[in-house]
Structure 1
Amino acid sequence: MHRRLIVPGALGAAVLMLAIPASAAGHSPGAPGIGDPYYPAYGNGGYDVSHYDLRLTYQPATDRLEGTATLLARTTQDLSRFNLDFLLDVGEVRVNGAPAAFATSGEHELEITPKTPLAKDTPVTVVVRYSGVPSSKKAYGFTSWHRTPDGGIGANEPEAAWWWFPSNDHPLDKATFDVSVQVPDGTQVISNGTLQSTSSRLGWTRWNWRSDKPQATYLATLAIGRFDLTTGTTESGIPVVNAYSKDLGAHAGAARASVERTGEVADWLAGYFGPYPYNALGGYVPNTGTGYALETQTRPFYSPRQFTNGSNVSVVVHELAHQWYGDLVSVRGWQDIWINEGFARYAQWLWSEHEGEGTARELADYTYASHPADDPFWTVRPGDPGPDDQFHLAVYDRGALAVQALREAIGDEDFFTVLKGWPAKYAHGNASVADFRRYAEEVSGKPLAALFDTWLYEPVKPAASAARSASVASAATAEPASWKKIAATNGVHAH
Structure 2
Amino acid sequence: MTPPPGQPARRRTGVLRREAVLAAVPAAVAALLGAAAPAAPGTAGAPGAGDPYFPLSGNGGYHVRHYDLTLRYDTSARHLDGTAVLAARATQNLSRFDLDLTGLKVTRVTVDGAPAAFRRTGQELVVTPRHTLHTGREFHITVAYHGTPKPVTDPDGSADGWIPTDDGAFVAGEPQGAMTWFPANAHPEDKSSYDITITVPQGRTAVSNGVLLGQRTAHGRTTFRWRETQPMAAYLATATVGKFKVEQYTTRDGIRVYNAVDPREASAAAPVLKKLPSVLAWESTLFGPYPFRSAGSVVDHANVGYALETQTRPLYDSAPDLGTLVHESAHQWFGDSVSLTAWKDIWLNEGFATYAEWLYAEQHGGDSAQKTFDALYARGAGDHLWAFPPGDPGSGAHIFDTPVYARGAMALHEVRRAVGDRDFFRILRAWSAGHRYGHGTTAQFERLAEKVSGKRLDGLFHTWLFTKGKPNRA
TM over 0.5: yes
1:327 aligns with 2:342: no
1:380 aligns with 2:388: yes
Q: How big is the alpha-carbon RMSD for the aligned residues of Structure 1 and Structure 2? A: 2.1
CA distance 1:418–1:139, shift in 2 (3 Å): closer
State which of 28, 35, 42 in structure 2 corresponds to 1:27: 42
Aligned to 2:459: 450
Shift of 1:81: 0.4
Checking the alignment, whether the CA contact within 8 Å between 1:69 and 1:129 is kept in structure 2 is yes
CA distance 1:444–1:104, shift in 2 (3 Å): same
Shift of 1:360: 0.9
Aligned to 2:204: 187
Shift of 1:336: 0.5
Aligned to 1:294: 308
Checking the alignment, whether the CA contact within 8 Å between 2:391 and 2:466 is kept in structure 1 is yes
Checking the alignment, whether the CA contact within 8 Å between 2:11 and 2:398 is kept in structure 1 is no
Q: What amino acid does structure 1 have at the position aligned with 2:192?
A: A
Q: Deviations over 1:381-406 (max 9, x none)?
A: 11111222111111111111110100
Shift of 1:437: 0.3
Question: How far apart, in 2, do the equivalents of 1:131 and 1:364 lie?
Answer: 49
TM-score, structure 2 as length reference: 0.91
Checking the alignment, whether the CA contact within 8 Å between 2:93 and 2:135 is kept in structure 1 is yes
State which of 108, 117, 131 in structure 2 corresponds to 1:92: 108
Shift of 1:257: 1.9
Q: Within 5 Å, which residues of 2 pair with 1:93-492?
A: 93-106=109-122, 108-135=123-150, 144-246=161-263, 248=264, 251-304=265-318, 307=320, 312-369=321-378, 371-387=379-395, 388-463=397-472, 466=473, 469=474
Checking the alignment, whether the CA contact within 8 Å between 2:341 and 2:440 is kept in structure 1 is yes
Q: What amino acid does structure 2 have at the position aligned with 1:346?
A: Y
SS of the equivalent of 1:352 reads helix
State which of 88, 91, 97 in structure 2 corresponds to 1:73: 88
Shift of 1:287: 1.7
CA distance 1:138–1:402, shift in 2 (3 Å): closer
Moved more, 394-403 or 233-242: 233-242
Note the residue ranges of structure 2 that are not aligned, 5 or more in a row: 4-8, 20-32
Question: How far apart, in 1, do the equivalents of 2:88 and 2:145 lie?
Answer: 19
Question: How far apart, in 2, do the equivalents of 1:154 and 1:376 lie?
Answer: 30
Q: What amino acid does structure 2 have at the position aligned with 1:403?
A: L
Instruction: Give the total of aligned pairs.
Output: 450
State which of 42, 48, 73 in structure 1 corresponds to 2:63: 48
Checking the alignment, whether the CA contact within 8 Å between 2:41 and 2:132 is kept in structure 1 is no
Checking the alignment, whether the CA contact within 8 Å between 1:11 and 1:105 is kept in structure 2 is no
Shift of 1:354: 2.0
Checking the alignment, whether the CA contact within 8 Å between 1:7 and 1:41 is kept in structure 2 is no
Aligned to 2:30: none
Question: How far apart, in 2, do the equivalents of 1:159 and 1:6 lie?
Answer: 13
Checking the alignment, whether the CA contact within 8 Å between 1:234 and 1:267 is kept in structure 2 is no
Question: How far apart, in 1, do the equivalents of 2:271 and 2:15 lie?
Answer: 45
SS of the equivalent of 1:129 reads strand
The share of aligned pairs that are identical, in percent, is 45
Question: How far apart, in 1, do the equivalents of 2:391 and 2:459 lie?
Answer: 13
1:82 aligns with 2:97: yes
Q: What amino acid does structure 1 have at the position aligned with 2:268?
A: A
Checking the alignment, whether the CA contact within 8 Å between 1:277 and 1:324 is kept in structure 2 is yes
Q: What amino acid does structure 2 have at the position aligned with 1:386?
A: G
